[in-house]
Structure 1
Amino acid sequence: MNELDQKADKTLQDNTAVMLVTGGAKRIGAAIIKAAHDKGYRVIIHCHRSQQRAERLAKALNSIRADSASVVVADLALVNNQAELNDFVQHVIEPFGQLDVLVHNASRFYPTPIGSIDNPQWDELMLTNAKAPLLLSQALLPYLQVQQGCIVSLLDIHAYDKPFSGYTVYNMAKAAQRTMVQSLALELAPDVRVNGVAPGVNILPDANSDQALDQAQQDNIVRSIPMQRIGTPEDIAQSVLFLIEALYITGHIINIDGGRSLTLAGD
C-alpha cells in the first residue's frame, strides 16, 4: 500500500463507527462483535474472565482489517467505584477516540429458588443485569451524544409478563433493565437512541455446566417454539445491527424467540 492509500485508509477508519460490547468475547457477544466488524465497525471487546478468547478474537479481526478491534478487561463491579469507572471509560475511549454504539450484553444467569436467595446472589444478578448497564450508560453518555449514537440492551422474553420459574432475582433484574431501556429512550432523545433485544432460547447452556440440558429436554424446548428450532447467536446479532441502523426507532424491544413468547408460560 503506497502512502496515499495509507492516508485514505486512515481517513476511512477515522470515520468508521465504534461499538463497545460488554461480555463480547464469546457466545452472543462475540457474534455481535463479528457481525458489526463485518459491517465495517471498529469494535471494542469487553471481557472479564475470558481475556484469552477476547484477545484471539481481536487478533483475528485485526488480521482482516488492521487496527479495527481492541480489548478492554474489567470486572463490571467497578461501577461501584467512581475512580475505577472513570478509568474504564478512558480505556474504552483511548483506542479509537470515540464511541458510537454501546451494547449491554454481559449478564449473569442462574436460578434463585425461593428459600435459598441470599445477598451475594441478589448483588451479582442486579449488578450485571441492571446496575452496571445503567451506570455504564451514564458514564459513556457524553461520548455517545457527540456521535448521535445509540445503546442496545440484551434483555429476556421472561422479563415481561412471563417470569421464568425459580429465577426470581434474575427476572427482577432483567425487568429493571427493560424499564431502563424505556426510561432512557425518553430521557436521552433525540441525541441518543435506546433499544432492546429480548432473546428466547437462542443458545443452550454449556454441556458441562450445572444447567446443561439432556436431549429430551432440548427436544421438548424445540417443540414449544413455533419456528421449530433453537435460535442462534447470529439471530441476535442481526437484530442488534438492525436496531443500531434504524435511525427512527427508540424505546423499542424486539423479541427474538422464534415465536416462543406467544405460547410460553413461565417455566
Structure 2
Amino acid sequence: MTDLDTAPVILVTGSAKRIGAAIVKAAHRQDYRVIIHCHNSQSEAQQLSDELNQIRPHSAKVLIADLSVINAKDRLDTFVKASIGAFGQLDVLVHNASRFYPTPITSITSIDNEQWDELFLTNAKAPLILSQALLPYLQAQQGCIISLLDIHAHNKPFKDYTVYNMAKAAQRMMVQSLALDLAPSVRVNGVAPGVNVLPETDSDQALEPTLQHSIVDSIPLQRIGKPEDIAHSVLYLIQASYVTGQIIDVDGGRGLTLAGGKY
C-alpha cells in the first residue's frame, strides 16, 4: 500500500460515470489519489468520490468545471489551482471528456458555429490548452498524458458526424505532436475505443435493438466492449515508461473490418 502523502495523482476529465469513472476506479485500485472532474454530473461525481474515500480516506476529490474555462485566463488559472490544490501534485492527466453528436450537411440542414465550437472545444482545444496549463506540474513528476480518441478518427469517419470526426482527428494529431514536443519529460499516448459503451437509452443517441445486434455482428470478438477494457489500457500506458506517441485501439477487432460510414 502506497503512503497516501506520496501516492501519485491522476486527473480524469469527464469522469463522473461511464468510461471516465472506470478509469478513476482502476487508478484508485492501483493506489492513485484521484481527481474526478465533472460539469453537469455533480451528484454522480460526489457519489463516486464518497465511495472511493470510504475505501481509502482522503484519496478522492471532485473538481467541477465547464471546459470552456480554457477560453478565459482567470478561469483557467482557477482550474489549474484547484487541480493542483487537491493533492499538491499531478502525475497523470487523462482527457476523457467529450461531446458526441451528428452534424449532417444536406440541402435541408447545415453545420453551425455553435456545433463547431462545442465539438472542437471538448475534443481538441480543451485537451491541448489543459495539457499546456498543467505541463509544469506533469514535468515535475515525469508524468504522462493520455487522450481518449476514437477508431473513427483515422481514415474511417462516421457518416453525418463531420465535425466530430474532424475534432477527434485533431486530437489524435495532438497526441502524436505532443509526444515529440514534450519528450523526454512527459509521455503522451492515446486509447481509441470502438464500441465500448453504448449511448444511454434515454439520450437522443439511443440505438434500436436491431442496430445494436448489427453492431455486435460487425465486431470480430462478437460482443460490446466494457468501460473496464478502456481503463485497463489507460493503466497500461500510465505504467509503460518506454511508450510514447502511441495509440491503442480497443475495439474487439472492429477496425479490421470497418469500412467507415457506420456507427
Equivalent residue of 1:216, what SS? helix
Tell me, in whole angstroms, the C-alpha distance in 2 between the residues paired with 1:125 and 1:199.
18
Tell me, in whole angstroms, the C-alpha distance in 1 between the residues paired with 2:174 and 2:86.
28
For normalisation by structure 2, the TM-score amounts to 0.97
Map of 2:38 onto structure 1: 47
Paired amino acid for 2:23: I
Shift of 1:95: 1.7
Paired amino acid for 1:162: K
Map of 1:228 onto structure 2: 222
Equivalent residue of 1:58, what SS? helix
Map of 2:85 onto structure 1: 94
Tell me, in whole angstroms, the C-alpha distance in 2 between the residues paired with 1:208 and 1:148.
42
Say whether 1:66 aligns with 2:60: no
Picking from 46, 49, 69, the partner of 1:78 is 69
> Which shifted more, 203-212 or 149-158?
203-212
Cα deviation digits, residues 140-165 of structure 1 (max 9, x gap): 00000000000000000000010111
Paired amino acid for 1:170: Y
Shift of 1:246: 0.4
Query: What does residue range 192-231 of structure 1 map to in structure 2 within 5 Å?
Result: 192-231=186-225
Picking from 117, 120, 124, the partner of 1:130 is 124
Map of 1:4 onto structure 2: none
Paired amino acid for 2:76: L
Shift of 1:67: 0.4
Say whether 1:263 aligns with 2:257: yes
Shift of 1:215: 1.2
Query: What does residue range 100-115 of structure 1 map to in structure 2 within 5 Å?
Result: 100-115=91-106
Equivalent residue of 2:62, what SS? strand
Cα deviation digits, residues 85-110 of structure 1 (max 9, x gap): 01100000112100000000000000
Map of 2:135 onto structure 1: 141
Paired amino acid for 1:217: L
Tell me, in whole angstroms, the C-alpha distance in 2 between the residues paired with 1:100 and 1:137.
12
Say whether 1:187 aligns with 2:181: yes
Tell me, in whole angstroms, the C-alpha distance in 1 between the residues paired with 2:42 and 2:205.
24
Paired amino acid for 1:214: E
Shift of 1:211: 1.6
For normalisation by structure 1, the TM-score amounts to 0.95
> Which shifted more, 248-257 or 212-221?
212-221
Say whether 1:118 aligns with 2:112: yes
Tell me, in whole angstroms, the C-alpha distance in 1 between the residues paired with 2:81 and 2:205.
37
Map of 1:153 onto structure 2: 147
Cα deviation digits, residues 196-237 of structure 1 (max 9, x gap): 000000000111111211111111000000000000000000
Shift of 1:119: 0.4
How much identity, in percent, do the aligned residues show? 71
Tell me, in whole angstroms, the C-alpha distance in 1 between the residues paired with 2:257 and 2:152.
12
Tell me, in whole angstroms, the C-alpha distance in 2 between the residues paired with 1:14 and 1:184.
30
What's the RMSD between the two structures over aligned residues?
0.9
Tell me, in whole angstroms, the C-alpha distance in 2 between the residues paired with 1:122 and 1:150.
28
**Residue-pair matches, total:** 258
